[in-house]
């Protein structure tokens, strides 16, 4: 049973560039979540998918951010025109239909120069 995987694990980019991260949830999990964690803080919720439907978006998710889960399996999070303030750890989590616990992946560390 593999856990949640995320790619890439690290990304360094220049301000203004676009970046895309991928999350593969635990295979039988239909719920998928994205969080952002900055240094010294707990994770902050960004968005939530049930199957392919994006059901909730935090106000933290500005219009430069877009997330998709086209076939209800893996998900991508894209940040357009990156800013230095986007530097953070981006965490993905998944859970099953009848369980409350969210299981997290290893995260993608983004550094915007």
Contacts to other proteins by CB under 8 A: 31, 33, 35, 40-46, 48, 55-56, 58, 89, 91, 93, 100-107, 109
CB of 20 to other proteins, least distance (A): 19
C-beta of 42 vs 85, nearer to other proteins = 42
Q: Which residues contact 16 (CB under 8 A, 6 or more apart)?
A: 81, 82
Torsion (CA) 43, 45, 50, 54 in degrees, nearest 10: -140
Q: Which of residues 33 and 65 has its CB atom nearest to other proteins in the complex? A: 33
Q: How far is the CB of 16 from other proteins (least distance, A)?
A: 26
Q: Residue 18 or 38: which CB sits closer to other proteins?
A: 38
Minimum Å gap between C-beta 86 and other proteins is 17
Q: Which is nearer to other proteins, 44 or 83 (CB)?
A: 44
* 51 torsion bin: left (phi>0), alpha (psi -120 to 50), beta (else): left
Least distance CB 62 / other proteins (angstroms): 16
Measured in whole angstroms, the distance separating CA 63 from the mean position of its chain's CA atoms is: 15
d(CA 73, CA 52): 8
């Amino acid at each position: 049973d593999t856990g949640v995987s995320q790619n890439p694990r690290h990304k360094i980019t220049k301000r203004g560039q676009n970046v895309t991260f991928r999350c593969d949830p635990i295979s039988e999990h239909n719920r998928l979540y994205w969080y952002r964690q900055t240094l010294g803080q707990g994770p902050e919720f960004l968005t939530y998918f049930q199957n392919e439907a994006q059901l909730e978006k935090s106000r933290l998710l500005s219009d430069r951010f877009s997330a998709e889960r086209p076939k209800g399996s893996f998900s991508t999070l894209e940040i357009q025109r990156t800013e230095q303030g986007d530097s953070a750890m981006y965490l993905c989590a998944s859970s099953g239909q009848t369980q409350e616990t969210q299981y997290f992946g290893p995260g993608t560390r983004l550094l915007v120069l």
